[in-house]
């Protein structure tokens, strides 16, 4: 008699390098933005967050293209997002403008850092909700403002006004209101178009190509103004689309 011997394969240990390297790069950019903000280098801090957005957009796509998607990668990406798009924008905004609210009164000073904390908490809640909704909602839309877009609005405001020579002390109340509004938009039920059904292989109207070229050209000419305007309009698109849908329902009734 021959004895059958089966060799049990043990799961390979380790992580995939390329997608997690991109995620680490995004986390590094978020951390560097915090350090730059602490040293009042607000333009560099804003640029670092925008670079983190690019790397964050690449890591998931690279993982899908190379078939290296893992549960570890998804969790690591969420932790990186919390640093790059939660902590970094809040601390940069606080250092630029919200810290000066203490000059108004002790109560306003506390309100300043509380607004920054509320933004961070909303970013964490947004990321946790997103992870639990994967595969359960229409992929064409995000429920709540995506944290990278929220971060772009925050640091975009800092970069824009810093670029035109307006100090954060003059904008502290506007910064306070923006931090709260953007944070609450992240945990809202407003739907924001995700662009996930946009396929580069499909044909698009000539006007769409012309619009993309125009946006790229304007971004090259004046990045602070264009990026802030684009992401601010995107953050307003959710509430505006909600009002349009309610109006149409009202007209049908």
Give the CATH number, domain containing residue 181. Answer: 1.20.120.1760
117: exposed, middle or buried (Cβ count in 10 Å: 0-12, 13-18, 19+): middle
Domain-embedded: residue 201: no
Q: Rounded CA gap, 112 and 119, in Å?
A: 11
Kindly state whether residue 10 falls inside one of the protein's structural domains: no
- Report pLDDT for 106: 93
Rounded to the nearest integer, the mean pLDDT of the chain is 86
Closest CA to 157 of 82, 89, 214, 100: 89
Q: State pTM to two decimals.
A: 0.87
Residue at 62 is within a domain = yes
Specify if 6 maps to a domain. Answer: no
Is residue 9, in this structure, part of any structural domain at all? Answer: no
- Alpha carbons 197 and 139: distance in angstroms, whole number: 8
Q: Is 12 part of any domain?
A: no
Of 69-78, 170-179, 226-235, the one with minimum mean pLDDT is 69-78
Query: Mean pLDDT throughout 169-191?
Result: 95
8: confidence class by pLDDT, cuts 50, 70, 90: very low
**Total number of domains constituting the chain:** 1
Average pLDDT over residues 70-91: 91
pLDDT the model gives residue 2: 45
Q: Residue 76: give the domain boundaries.
A: 17-196+206-252
């Amino acid at each position: 008699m021959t004895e059958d011997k089966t060799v049990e394969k043990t799961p390979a240990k380790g992580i995939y390098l390329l997608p997690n390297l991109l995620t680490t790069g995004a986390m590094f950019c978020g951390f560097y933005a915090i350090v730059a903000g602490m040293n009042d280098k607000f333009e560099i801090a804003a640029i670092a967050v925008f670079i983190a957005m690019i790397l964050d957009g690449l890591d998931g796509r690279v993982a899908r293209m190379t078939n290296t998607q893992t549960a570890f990668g998804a969790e690591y990406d969420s932790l990186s997002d919390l640093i790059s798009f939660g902590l970094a924008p809040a601390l940069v905004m606080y250092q630029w403008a919200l810290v000066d609210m203490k000059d108004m009164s002790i109560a306003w000073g506390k309100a300043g850092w509380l607004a920054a904390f509320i933004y961070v908490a909303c970013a964490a809640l947004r990321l946790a909700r997103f992870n639990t909704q994967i595969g359960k909602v229409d992929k064409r839309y995000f429920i709540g403002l995506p944290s990278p877009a929220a971060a772009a609005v925050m640091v975009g405001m800092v970069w824009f006004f810093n670029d035109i020579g307006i100090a954060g002390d003059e904008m502290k109340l506007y910064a306070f209101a923006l931090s709260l509004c953007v944070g609450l938009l992240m945990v809202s039920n407003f739907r924001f178009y995700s662009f996930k059904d946009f396929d580069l292989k499909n044909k698009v109207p000539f006007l769409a190509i012309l619009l993309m070229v125009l946006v790229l050209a304007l971004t090259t000419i004046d990045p602070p103004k264009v990026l802030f305007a684009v992401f601010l309009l995107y953050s307003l698109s959710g509430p505006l689309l909600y009002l349009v849908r309610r109006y149409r329902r009202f007209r049908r009734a």
